Amino acid sequence: MFIRYTFLNLTMNEKGSNSSFYFSFCITTMFFIILVVTFIVFGSLTLNTNHTAIAQQQPPFIEDLSFDIDNVTFSHHLVSVNGIQLHYVIGGQGDPIVLLHGFPQSWYEWRHIMPALAKNYTVVVPDLRGFGDSSKPVTGYDGKTTAEDIYQLTSRLGLNQIFLVAHDVGAQTAYSYASAHPNNVTKLVIMDFPYPGFLPPEFGENGPWWFAFHQTPNLPEYLVEGKEREYISWFMKGLAYNPSAITKEDIDIFANHFSAPGTAHGAFEHFRAFSVDAEQNKESAKNKITMPVLALGGDIYPALGGDIPGNFALSSLQSLATNVNGVTVPFSGHWIPEERPDFVLNQLFKFLGNSTK
């Protein structure tokens, strides 16, 4: 009413030109206020975009795109499983073998292994949720959930029995898969992962420092943002016995994936799920898996002070499996498939069979 009264009073006491001026001024001011309020509200919504929206973004690859590694053809695919979009690469022919990568990587971790395996096996290499070109949901990073992602993928592909090979955090997914679907896994290979709930004594009660760092809510995302390449480079070089096995080009590929929206959050969530994984592992350990298991462990870890005696993957798995054998990979740190692909292939062919080697 005050605005209306003031406006009417002005129109009665000023000339027509002044009246038009004040009317225009009021309209312009009101428009400007509405514009500012709209900008603030929209900006707030944009800044608070959650990872669910991020997960709906389209991956930066062409569906069914074929490519070659060492003259062996593979192709990219995207499939809806367990409420997310899962990216995977597939190639070769023969008995199916599924390869699960670790932190902070993607399917590309297995680039040196895939071509040789594809001569004898159908090779399926997914990006775990939170990594690579798969979805980055807010939750669902415990072993049972990520295992269900992979089980739904193999079911969609019609793979009733598989060989399952995994490294680092992918090993939790692999064990949970084998525990939940023992008749679907013929043989299991685990590389360099201490299982939550069964950490070996040499790892201490809580594991190395980055376990705690990665489990801290939100902090690692804030600190690593804009420095993804530097962090990944340090992390990978520090855990490699042979740092030259991880080239600058390899670091670029992993860093480009890791710096994509939502990836850092998803990657760190695998570590934040360790407490849930520990409880799940303790429960499933009451009925140990019985299929043959091979545990490959690294030899030397500079970031952990050098040589760590024993194979901590084997140490953990002895509490979870009845038929497990361990091999320490000589002249290798944590990145076994990249530092010693020749040794890994030899071990896989001997353990899995179905080989001309």
> 204-219: per-residue pLDDT in tens?
778 888 999 999 999 9
Are both 210 and 259 inside the same structural domain? yes
We report the CATH number of the domain holding residue 292 as 3.40.50.1820
Predicted pLDDT of residue 186 = 98
Q: Does some domain include residue 247?
A: yes
Predicted pLDDT of residue 60 = 52
Predicted pLDDT of residue 309 = 58
**What is the number of other CB atoms lying within 10 angstroms of the CB of residue 215?**
19
Are both 104 and 210 inside the same structural domain? yes
b/e 225-251 (16+ beta carbons within 10 angstroms → b): eeebbebbbebbbebbbebebbeeebb
What's the DSSP call for residue 142?
Answer: S
Predicted pLDDT of residue 202 = 74
pLDDT digits (tens, 9 = 90+) for 14-33: 334 444 433 443 444 443 33
Task: Give the residue ranges of the chain where pLDDT is below 50.
Answer: 1-59, 355-357
Predicted pLDDT of residue 41 = 31
Give the chain's domain count.
2
Predicted pLDDT of residue 47 = 30
Residue 181 lies in domain: 64-352
Question: Residue 320: which of 99, 184, 172, 101 has the closest Cα?
Answer: 172
- Decide: 143 and 129 in contact? Cβ < 8 Å: no
Question: Residue 191: which of 317, 350, 89 has the closest Cα?
Answer: 317
DSSP 59-87: PSS-TT-EEEETTEEEEEEEEEETTEEEE
Q: Does some domain include residue 55?
A: no
Question: If DSSP codes are grouped into helix, strand and coil, which group holds residue 129?
Answer: coil
Q: Does some domain include residue 296?
A: yes
Are both 32 and 94 inside the same structural domain? no
pLDDT digits (tens, 9 = 90+) for 260-282: 999 999 999 999 999 999 999 99
Predicted pLDDT of residue 310 = 65
- Decide: 214 and 232 in contact? Cβ < 8 Å: no
pTM: predicted TM-score of the whole model, two decimal places? 0.82
Q: Within 13 Å, how many C-alpha atoms sit on residue 33's CB side?
A: 6
